[in-house]
Amino acid sequence: MRKHLIAIPFHDWRKCRREGFRTRDAHLIEAFSRVEGFEKILVVNRPVTHLELALRRERRDPGRKAILRGSKWHVLRDRGCYVFEYFDPGSVRQALEGKVWFFGAYGSQALIEGLSEAMDRLGFDEPVAISMNVRSAHLAGRFHDRGVPVMFDAWDNWLRFPLGRGERVRVAEGYLRFAAIAEMWFTNSEKNKQEFTRRFGLDRCVVVPNGVDPYRFQASPYEPASLKAISRPRAFFGGKITHLFDADLFNEVTRRLSDTQFVIAGQVLDKQSWKRIKVRSNVHYLGDIHYDQYPAYVVASDFCIAPYVPYENDSGGDGIKLYEYAAAGKPTVSTTGNGARGLSEFVSIAHSPEGFAEAIVKAIKLGSLAARLPESGFSWDERGRAMVRHLRGPSMEPMSKVALR
């Protein structure tokens, strides 16, 4: 039985520490560390260059927090895991290639040698690997070639995102590589499963939906100061502004409901989508909020919204925020996309600006009578256990030592 887990997240671990562990990969890795299943977990963080460190005004050296060191890498202990950080000298190449750079950086021989040394020194002699990062296909392939079982959590379908031509080609190549080597694929929706299965000929894809830590979204003891200044009723959207945010629908709804205050909290990742949002007198943007404070904003709102593009145009995803809204027992209005159909017991679904506005009026009247997500059946720990059953399955026979070199 495999006793060690190697996890390759999509998001930068340092960014998760700065902003709170709020993404699917971070939630699942935390769950893996809590549920019974593995003696040790090694998180392989994405490669970092000195250019990126300089732009973020961060230091490479974590001081006493490092328990192992190499010339270009170190290992930390964080949140019940070991975290491997590799520092790549290719700053110029990263600046020229942008996000495409990561596909090659994960295949760096120096990274692979450093990781192999770290694993030896940590005693990772019976590992199984799960990648949540399509850009890490080269590294995952090296694990596979050395007899380490590889699982892949594809979560959203990146081929449905607006990508540059070069990145789109590399994403497709990454999926093809994982289709060839992964013992099991996971994804977060049936729509994604169907598309991945059809496009890449999969016969081993399992849907593990997103989840929530219910205890985080119980009644908050305080109302955030930035919300106190905003009158009621308050509609809350907590999430990133991307191409999936339906600005036209949102603008029409805010026009129709001028007495309702609409609060947006989250990062602006798509500036063009943000420019299309009309910041009327009843629209309030609070910027990004650390995940530790985020539940208080949900709890202190009167109802929540998810104005996304229609189902046929979405990324096939399963919105984490809808689980969070439901865990807080907040009346929620959403369009059809981003997993709303699977939570229709807890979410009012609208197909037009008129319907969305009408559903909001009903939500205001409903108040605290909204159905609350039960504490069992939707938690990240339960999602983690479902995946661990595959990660520790009977086909995962142990092996002695692993050398990636």
pTM of the model: 0.92
Give which of 349, 348, 347 is closest to 327, Cα–Cα.
Answer: 347
CB 92: neighbour CB atoms within 10 A?
10
Distance, CA of 69 to CA of 76 (rounded, Å):
9
Query: What angle, rounded to 10 degrees, do the helices at 137-145 and 109-122 form?
Result: 50
pLDDT bin (cut points 50, 70, 90) of residue 275 is: very high
Residues 6+ apart with CB under 8 A from 275: none
User: What's residue 177's pLDDT?
Assistant: 97
User: What's residue 393's pLDDT?
Assistant: 62
pLDDT bin (cut points 50, 70, 90) of residue 390 is: confident
Residue 166 gets which letter from DSSP? H
Average pLDDT over residues 331-344: 86
User: What's residue 132's pLDDT?
Assistant: 98
Mean pLDDT of the chain: 90
The answer to whether the beta carbons of residues 171 and 134 sit under 8 Å apart is yes
User: What's residue 366's pLDDT?
Assistant: 72
Distance, CA of 321 to CA of 393 (rounded, Å):
31
3-state helix, strand, coil in the chain (%, to 5): 45, 20, 40
pLDDT at 125 over 70: yes
Full DSSP string of 204-219: -EEE----B-GGGGS-
Parallel, antiparallel or unpaired: strands 48-49 and 66-69? unpaired
pLDDT bin (cut points 50, 70, 90) of residue 400 is: very low
**Which is more confidently placed, 401 or 125?**
125
Range 43-66 burial, b when 16+ CB lie within 10 A, else e: bbbbbbbeebeeeeeeeeebeeee
Average pLDDT over residues 147-160: 93
pLDDT bin (cut points 50, 70, 90) of residue 340 is: confident
The answer to whether the beta carbons of residues 11 and 320 sit under 8 Å apart is no
3-state secondary structure of 307: coil
pLDDT bin (cut points 50, 70, 90) of residue 314 is: low
Average pLDDT over residues 333-343: 85
pLDDT at 188 over 50: yes
Determine whether 4 is exposed, middle or buried from the number of CB atoms within 10 Å of its CB (0-12, 13-18, 19+). Answer: buried
pLDDT at 403 over 80: no
At residue 350, what is the residue type?
A
pLDDT at 399 over 70: no
Is the bond leading into 233 cis (omega within 30 degrees of zero)? Answer: yes
Query: What angle, rounded to 10 degrees, do the helices at 380-391 and 24-34 form?
Result: 70
Average pLDDT over residues 381-402: 70
Give which of 228, 213, 307, 310 is closest to 266, Cα–Cα.
Answer: 307
pLDDT at 1 over 60: no
The torsion of the CA quartet 292, 297, 300, 306, rounded to 10 degrees, works out to -130
Average pLDDT over residues 345-359: 92
Distance, CA of 60 to CA of 52 (rounded, Å):
10
Distance, CA of 320 to CA of 183 (rounded, Å):
26
Average pLDDT over residues 38-67: 90
The answer to whether the beta carbons of residues 393 and 135 sit under 8 Å apart is no
pLDDT bin (cut points 50, 70, 90) of residue 401 is: very low
Average pLDDT over residues 243-259: 95
pLDDT bin (cut points 50, 70, 90) of residue 172 is: very high
Q: What is the dihedral sign for C-alpha 371, 377, 382, 388?
A: negative
Top mean pLDDT of 294-298, 368-372, 400-404 is at 294-298
Distance, CA of 313 to CA of 288 (rounded, Å):
26
pLDDT at 2 over 80: no
Residue 184, token pair as written in the block? 């099991």
pLDDT at 367 over 80: no
User: What's residue 315's pLDDT?
Assistant: 65
Please state, for a pLDDT cut of 90, what percent of the chain lies above it.
74
User: What's residue 373's pLDDT?
Assistant: 85
Strands (E), 231-347: 234-238, 261-265, 283-285, 303-306, 332-334
User: What's residue 392's pLDDT?
Assistant: 67
pLDDT at 369 over 80: no
